């Protein structure tokens, strides 16, 4: 029986630990040749260590697969270009880019520093844009040359971004930006036979293990294992998913769902008198669906103190 990603060439950023490691191993098990990209930095983005990426490569080769390690900074324009070139040079083609690299610098807005904002936006948002852009350019040239293209970009967003979570204005803004990037890039790249989707994972990794007030028990750890995230990413990377694009999937040990984006809610004819707006806005609010909570269900609108 043919494997889902047989012969496909995939890049996984942040591919050495947590969710990224599961992506890398799952793609390899399904026949993909994998470029495991990872700086090997700390959770806040500082430092570097190339050995974690090589360890995943060694795991893949031990199972009979093909993989190479890459330590480029994906938030660097030139580093992202080298990453995409690594895939083409090593394996002769490129089919899949999974943008997974990320860091955390959580802080309430009143205390957040400029550096904490800039670092998170750079790694998540530019670190998604730069590899995607260089991959898209490669696929465009392949398409123009009359070569068959079956491209996949799979981005990593977050429920913190699409639903909102206090203490993460930097991370949430970046992840919401990635969701919008996904929708727009999907519209632009369809002409080249490239799909663009995103996954909003909930998993217990070194980035999230200290966010809970109490340690997770065994059942909770299994439910929040990164292993629940890789299947949807692997399927989206496969030829089977050629018809799916511009979608955001939530994935965890509790649920697999499609997150539905902004839709226009209750509406009235425009009013050019600010003094008349009070009761009109109140009526609109009474009919409008409340913002979702972190569980994706209807929550409660924020209230001023």
- 8 A C-beta contact, residue 95 and residue 10: yes
**Catalytically annotated residue among 138, 163, 171, 192:** 171
Task: Kindly report the backbone phi and psi dihedral angles of residue 13, in degrees, each rounded to the nearest multiple of 5, phi listed first.
Answer: -85, 145
Helices 169-189 & 114-121 angle (0-180, nearest 10): 30
Establish whether 171 is a catalytic residue: yes
Distance CA 126, CA 95 (A): 21
The three-state (H, E, C) secondary structure of the chain, written as one string: CCCCCCCCEEEEECCCCHHHHHHHHHHHHCCCEEEEECCCCCCCCCCCCCHHHHHHHHHHHHCCCCEEEECCCCCCHHHHHHHHHHHHHHHCCCCEEEECCCCCCCECCCCCCHHHHHHHHHHHHHHHHHHHHHHHHHHHHHHHCCCCCCEEEEEECCHHHHHHCCCEHHHHHHHHHHHHHHHHHHHHHHHHCEEEEEEEECCCCCCCCCCCCCCCCHHHHHHCCHHHCHHHHHHHHCHHHCCCCCCEEEECCCCEEEECCCCCCCCCCCCCCHHHHHHHHHHHHHHCCCCECCCCCECCCCCCC
β-pairing, 194-201 vs 151-156, is parallel
How far from chain centre, in Å, is Cα 210?
Answer: 21
Catalytic positions, written as ranges? 171
């Amino acid at each position: 029986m043919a494997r889902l990603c047989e012969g496909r060439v995939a890049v996984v950023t942040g591919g050495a630990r947590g969710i990224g490691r599961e992506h890398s191993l799952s793609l390899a098990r399904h026949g993909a040749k994998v470029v495991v990209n990872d700086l090997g930095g700390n959770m806040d983005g500082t430092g570097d260590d190339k050995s974690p990426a090589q360890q995943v490569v060694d795991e893949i080769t031990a199972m009979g697969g093909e993989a190479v390690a890459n330590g480029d900074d994906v938030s660097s324009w030139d580093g992202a270009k080298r990453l995409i070139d690594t895939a083409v040079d090593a394996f002769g083609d490129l089919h899949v880019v999974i943008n997974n690299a990320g860091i955390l610098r959580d802080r309430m807005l009143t205390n957040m520093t400029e550096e904490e904002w800039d670092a998170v936006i750079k790694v998540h948002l530019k670190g998604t844009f730069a590899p995607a852009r260089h991959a898209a350019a490669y696929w465009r040239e392949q398409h123009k040359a009359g070569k068959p293209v079956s491209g996949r970009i799979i981005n990593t967003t977050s429920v913190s971004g699409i639903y909102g979570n206090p203490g993460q204005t930097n991370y949430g803004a970046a992840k919401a930006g990635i969701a919008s990037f996904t929708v727009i890039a999907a519209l632009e790249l369809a002409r080249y036979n490239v799909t663009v989707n995103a996954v909003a994972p909930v998993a217990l990794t070194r980035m999230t293990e200290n966010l809970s007030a109490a340690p997770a028990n065994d059942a909770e750890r299994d439910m929040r294992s990164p292993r629940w995230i890789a299947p949807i990413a692997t399927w989206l990377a496969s030829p089977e998913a050629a018809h799916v694009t511009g979608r955001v999937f939530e994935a965890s040990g509790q649920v697999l769902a499609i997150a539905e984006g902004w839709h226009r809610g209750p509406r009235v004819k425009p009013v050019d008198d600010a003094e008349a707006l009070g009761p009109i806005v109140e009526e609109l609010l009474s009919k409008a669906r409340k913002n979702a909570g972190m569980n994706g269900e209807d929550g409660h609108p924020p209230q001023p103190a």
